[in-house]
Chain A
Amino acid sequence: MKIIHTDVLVIGGGLAGLRTAIGAKRRGLETLILSLVPAKRSHSVAAQGGMQASLANGIKGEGDNEDVHFEDTVRGSDWGCDQHVARMFTHMAPKAVRELAAWGVAWSRVQRGDREVVINGQRVTLTEKEAAHGLITARDFGGTRKWRTCYTSDGTGHAMLYTVSDQVIAESIPVHERMEALALIHDGLRCQGAVVRDMITGELSAYLASATVLATGGYGRIWGISTNALINEGMGAALALETGVARLGNMEAVQFHPTAIVPAGILVTEGCRGDGGLLLDNDGHRFMPDYEPEKKELASRDVVSRRMAEHMRAGKGVKSAYGDHLWLDISNLGAAHIDKNLREVKDICRYFLGIDPVKDPIPVRPTQHYSMGGVRTDHRGESPWLHGLFSCGEAACWDMHGFNRLGGNSVAETVVAGMLVGEYVADFCYSKAGQSDLSPALAREFVERERAGLNALVAKPGSENAVALRARMEQIMTDKVGLFRNGQDLDSAVVELAELLARSRNVGVRASNLDANPELVLAYRLPRMLKIALTVALGAQRRTESRGAHFREDFPARNDRDWLNRTLAFWREGDDLPSLDYEALDVLHMELPPGFRGYGVKNIVEHPDSAVRQAEVDEMLAAKPDRYSRQSALMPFKQLLPARYRARNARLDDTP
């Protein structure tokens, strides 16, 4: 059996994993990346519209800073996020975008002088400042008070992923492509690496590592229709869950994006609405202002998606062979704008719908898009229950998105988390705990267990069909664990998913080769997907409130009194269901105490501490003269950052 030793093992070749690896490598550690696919094919590439960072260069970004970005993020999360982490993130985002600017991303830039834009359906002329010419520009996105989303046309994720991936090559960091981790090697206390299958040759080996980082993305593909890449099947979260000790956080927090095309489910960016595109119903009526007079099409995604579904339920959807949909109309933006800033959208419309968005409206409806939940970590990215196991990016719940993520905050999170977790991983590796011995005997035991499992799968054709079981799982998640949820449906989803999990043990494989074999891959992933699906469904069933993207029709209020907490899930070996636990969010230490988001329906059961904390906050705000001292009095966070990243971010309008 082959054993590969490394200091840091990063599982996942998307932006979060790649940036973590660069950080660790630059700290002098031997670092290695595993990826299911060539790194540049990772799902980060599909991020279109942009990355939020409060640079405040453009005229519509004037007055923006970390404080405004922080508040938008917390409101977006429906107060479900960890405010310390949200603070760390908003402080780091400008540094991340500037680092990428130096590394090669061709961010779109501010052009001095007049330009015509569309705001609220009207053509308006903006005048950009001479002093801002050539700095990084930004567009509008939902749930934000400033134009903060930095972009390169609508291929932002592509530009970022290629740049960071190229720097990984420059740093001579090996990426072992077409490799799949099947299990984490651990002794119940310490993670020591992973059992890895070569998806070409089928060879199993052990990768022993002081630190293991799960950067495996989300779990959108347990739903039948998702904007996610096909590889986003939640396998990273499942690896953590199957340790029996690591915990997953807020798995029921799942985002549905307002604008995926019908029927293919491919995303068209929020930048369409940010740049002035409108949502229309079957009468051609612009309906969002009826529901959300303040933010209109640019409320947070959870709110816009629910309003769209509500409108379709009221009979205002457009009938089609693939069910009801609404229209996204960007024709008002004009051909020149679309050809320059929404060219991927134009391509998607042309190739998958046969339409031209310069003239034709785009058929869209809310579709599964993002996993706020994931491997629960502390602010350093480490699992509090399994030392040496780290996680970052969409795979993790560290937890900056709470119950709803803002558009532009996830691709920003990937690089920010990578910058931070790379440092913390290195700190861990150089600490005493990180240098404890790794056990080749333990590795052997784990490899042999996986080998036995694979051999058993190919030994029999099996009595169950994996394709059919998977299709049923996807249907249950779509019908019963979707945008609107209720107790009855969730009860039956849990029961039926548990049955599917039991049946999945009788799946076999007809083609008995252990090398490249897609049937075998589905057979071993299916039970893991079902465990993730069950964790999502059970979390949703137990959470008897509505918060962010988790909406219970039978419990429509956001219940801060009883539910201002984070769901933690773990799976004891041999159990049929995950076990759930909850960690409370500490209102008395929040910088922004719970309140109304400013969009969506106001329906809140107050937490008793909210008013107490608000009074304290008001008093502190009045006492301090400048924003930095106010912030550090309210909720100090700089001490949580690596020393190299604590400095303030420069802005054009800084007063000397």
Chain B
Amino acid sequence: MSSNAARTLTFNVFRHNPRDSATPPRVVAYSLEETPGMTLFIALTRIRETLDPSLSFDFVCRAGVCGSCAMVVNGRPGLACRTLTAQLPAEIRLFPLPGFELIADLSVNTGKWMRGMSERLQAWLHMQEEPDVDALEARMEPAMAEAIYELDRCIECGCCISGCGTAQMRTDFVGAVGMNKIARFRLDPRDARDDADFFDLVGDDTGVFGCMSLLGCHDVCPKQLPLQTQIAYLRRGMARQGLLG
């Protein structure tokens, strides 16, 4: 922070409690003096502690790894905890992520959505057999382990869903988060499933054929997952499976 005069920031925050029918959704403005190194986590906490104790939002790790705090910051989905106010104009608009059930204000129920998606896509490793934990582990090529970890880095924050054109139109679309999970398990040699199984899970318009390739997901993913390539690979694999069986 090189500038000497501290800015006064105005946070225009979406407020609504969906269980309180008497109070309509509204935007409330809060003013704060900017301090060095201020993040949206620090700012929102300060608003709650000094201006409005009822303001709801979700932070857990506050370090960019848990995926709790995704929200729409000046029109763009992102992780609030690691967004520095210094990178934003003095007028800041904060809205909850679209595409998820609103809990209150900036808090949305991504957990419920993600669990539903995981159940529907059977997004877990399907073991060929239970391991003998006393024996040496099965071997894996080091490069394969790295490639799997690369796709395993998704933090289920929900940014890709709120940045997705299809997900805004059809609520049953699994989104990039879902397709990336299928790509991750499809890559994994430990998973017992084959393309026929994966086709049953994502081979339709709620899955990989619903994607319009707008790729907002790729642009907003805070972990910079290679969503564009993964969706393309998956679509090609599923098209082949659909055509040739």
**Residues of A at under 8 Å CB distance from B?**
37-43, 45-46, 55, 94-99, 101-104, 106-111, 133-137, 152-153, 155, 158-159, 162-163, 166-167, 169-170, 175, 177-178, 200-201, 229-231, 263-264, 266-267, 321, 340, 344, 347-348, 351-352, 354, 467, 509-511, 513, 515-519, 522, 645, 647-652
Pairs A-B, 4 closest by C-beta atoms: A38-B111, A134-B139, A102-B131, A104-B125
Interface set, chain B 67-100, CB cutoff 8 A to A: 67-68, 82, 84
Q: Determine whether the beta carbon of A230 is less than 8 Å from that of B62.
A: yes
Give Cα distance in the complex from A37 to B157, angstroms.
13
Question: Across the interface, which residues of B come within 8 angstroms of A200, CB to CB?
Answer: 103, 109
Partner of B141, one of A134, A169, A175: A134
Question: Across the interface, which residues of A come within 8 angstroms of B145, CB to CB?
Answer: 106-109, 152
Asked whether B190 is an interface residue with its Cβ less than 8 Å from the other chain, the reply is yes
Asked whether B214 is an interface residue with its Cβ less than 8 Å from the other chain, the reply is no
A sample of 5 inter-chain contacts (CB < 8 A) reads A38-B111, A109-B141, A169-B115, A201-B19, A511-B53
Partner of B63, one of A46, A178, A648: A46
Q: Determine whether the beta carbon of B62 is less than 8 Å from that of A229.
A: yes
Contact A352 B82, CB 8 Å, known A104-B125, A159-B149, A159-B152: yes
Partner of A510, one of B54, B60, B140, B146: B54
Question: Across the interface, which residues of B come within 8 angstroms of A43, CB to CB?
Answer: 60-61
Question: Across the interface, which residues of A come within 8 angstroms of B138, CB to CB?
Answer: 101-102
Question: Across the interface, which residues of B come within 8 angstroms of A177, CB to CB?
Answer: 111-112, 115
Question: Across the interface, which residues of B come within 8 angstroms of A344, CB to CB?
Answer: 65
Give Cα distance in the complex from A230 to B41, angstroms.
11
Q: Determine whether the beta carbon of B141 is less than 8 Å from that of A37.
A: no
Name the residue on B nearest A132 (C-beta).
B139
Q: Determine whether the beta carbon of A103 is less than 8 Å from that of B127.
A: yes
Question: Across the interface, which residues of A come within 8 angstroms of B56, CB to CB?
Answer: 516-518
Question: Across the interface, which residues of B come within 8 angstroms of A39, CB to CB?
Answer: 111
Given A109-B142, A516-B104, output 4 extra A-B contacts at Cβ < 8 Å: A37-B111, A229-B62, A467-B53, A515-B104
Give Cα distance in the complex from A321 to B114, angstroms.
41
Give Cα distance in the complex from A101 to B122, angstroms.
19
Say how far A596's CB is from chain B's closest CB, in angstroms.
Answer: 35
Q: Determine whether the beta carbon of A515 is less than 8 Å from that of B124.
A: no
Question: Across the interface, which residues of A come within 8 angstroms of B63, CB to CB?
Answer: 46, 264, 266-267, 348, 352
Question: Across the interface, which residues of B come within 8 angstroms of A515, CB to CB?
Answer: 17, 19, 104
Give Cα distance in the complex from A321 to B37, angstroms.
11
Name the residue on A nearest B131 (C-beta).
A102
**Residues of B at under 8 Å CB distance from A?**
17, 19-20, 36-37, 39, 48-50, 53-56, 58-68, 82, 84, 103-104, 107, 109-112, 114-115, 118-119, 122-125, 127, 130-131, 133-142, 145-146, 148-149, 152-153, 155-156, 188, 190
Question: Across the interface, which residues of A come within 8 angstroms of B62, CB to CB?
Answer: 229-230, 264, 266
Question: Across the interface, which residues of B come within 8 angstroms of A647, CB to CB?
Answer: 134
Give Cα distance in the complex from A476 to B39, angstroms.
25
Q: Determine whether the beta carbon of B36 is less than 8 Å from that of A321.
A: yes
Q: Determine whether the beta carbon of B54 is less than 8 Å from that of A41.
A: no
Q: Determine whether the beta carbon of B110 is less than 8 Å from that of A513.
A: no
Q: Which of B60, B64, B67, B135 counts the most A-chain CB atoms under 10 A from its CB?
A: B60
Q: Determine whether the beta carbon of B65 is less than 8 Å from that of A45.
A: yes
Q: Determine whether the beta carbon of B125 is less than 8 Å from that of A95.
A: no
Q: Determine whether the beta carbon of A99 is less than 8 Å from that of B112.
A: no
Question: Across the interface, which residues of B come within 8 angstroms of A522, CB to CB?
Answer: 53
Q: Determine whether the beta carbon of A348 is less than 8 Å from that of B64.
A: yes
Give Cα distance in the complex from A20 to B131, angstroms.
18
Give Cα distance in the complex from A524 to B115, angstroms.
29
Q: Determine whether the beta carbon of A162 is less than 8 Å from that of B152.
A: yes
Say how far B119's CB is from chain A's closest CB, in angstroms.
Answer: 6
Question: Across the interface, which residues of A come within 8 angstroms of B59, CB to CB?
Answer: 230
Q: Which of A38, A98, A155, A649 counts the most B-chain CB atoms under 10 A from its CB?
A: A38
Contact A519 B156, CB 8 Å, known A37-B68, A41-B67, A109-B141: no
Partner of A153, one of B110, B141, B149: B149
Say how far B26's CB is from chain A's closest CB, in angstroms.
Answer: 15
Q: Determine whether the beta carbon of B131 is less than 8 Å from that of A98.
A: yes
Name the residue on A nearest B185 (C-beta).
A104
Contact A41 B61, CB 8 Å, known A109-B142, A153-B149, A649-B134: yes
Question: Across the interface, which residues of B come within 8 angstroms of A651, CB to CB?
Answer: 136
Say how far A428's CB is from chain B's closest CB, in angstroms.
Answer: 23
Say how far B50's CB is from chain A's closest CB, in angstroms.
Answer: 8
Name the residue on A nearest B153 (C-beta).
A155
Q: Determine whether the beta carbon of B61 is less than 8 Å from that of A229.
A: yes
Partner of B133, one of A46, A98, A513, A518: A98
Name the residue on A nearest B48 (C-beta).
A518
Q: Determine whether the beta carbon of B142 is less than 8 Å from that of A46.
A: no
Q: Determine whether the beta carbon of A102 is less than 8 Å from that of B190.
A: yes
Contact A46 B61, CB 8 Å, known A108-B146, A134-B140, A513-B17: yes
Give Cα distance in the complex from A108 to B122, angstroms.
25
Question: Across the interface, which residues of A come within 8 angstroms of B17, CB to CB?
Answer: 513, 515-516
Contact A169 B61, CB 8 Å, known A41-B66, A516-B17: no
Q: Determine whether the beta carbon of A169 is less than 8 Å from that of B124.
A: yes
Give Cα distance in the complex from A323 to B87, angstroms.
25
Name the residue on A nearest B139 (C-beta).
A134
Give Cα distance in the complex from A347 to B222, angstroms.
10
Q: Determine whether the beta carbon of B67 is less than 8 Å from that of A40.
A: yes
Question: Across the interface, which residues of B come within 8 angstroms of A167, CB to CB?
Answer: 124-125
Q: Determine whether the beta carbon of B118 is less than 8 Å from that of A264.
A: no
Q: Determine whether the beta carbon of B156 is less than 8 Å from that of A40.
A: yes
Name the residue on B nearest A649 (C-beta).
B134
Say how far B73's CB is from chain A's closest CB, in angstroms.
Answer: 14
Give Cα distance in the complex from A264 to B38, angstroms.
10
Say how far B228's CB is from chain A's closest CB, in angstroms.
Answer: 20
Partner of B53, one of A99, A155, A518: A518
Question: Across the interface, which residues of B come within 8 angstroms of A136, CB to CB?
Answer: 137
Give Cα distance in the complex from A109 to B146, angstroms.
9
Give Cα distance in the complex from A97 to B131, angstroms.
11
Give Cα distance in the complex from A517 to B104, angstroms.
9
Give Cα distance in the complex from A354 to B85, angstroms.
13
Give Cα distance in the complex from A97 to B103, angstroms.
37
Say how far A339's CB is from chain B's closest CB, in angstroms.
Answer: 11
Question: Across the interface, which residues of B come within 8 angstroms of A231, CB to CB?
Answer: 60
Question: Across the interface, which residues of A come within 8 angstroms of B65, CB to CB?
Answer: 45-46, 155, 158, 344
Partner of A652, one of B50, B54, B119, B136: B136
Question: Across the interface, which residues of B come within 8 angstroms of A170, CB to CB?
Answer: 122, 124
Say how far A523's CB is from chain B's closest CB, in angstroms.
Answer: 9
Give Cα distance in the complex from A340 to B136, angstroms.
26
Q: Determine whether the beta carbon of B114 is less than 8 Å from that of A38.
A: yes
Q: Determine whether the beta carbon of A109 is less than 8 Å from that of B140.
A: yes
Say how far B20's CB is from chain A's closest CB, in angstroms.
Answer: 7
Contact A166 B136, CB 8 Å, known A41-B111, A98-B131, A321-B36: no
Q: Determine whether the beta carbon of B124 is less than 8 Å from that of A158.
A: no
Q: Determine whether the beta carbon of A467 is less than 8 Å from that of B49.
A: yes
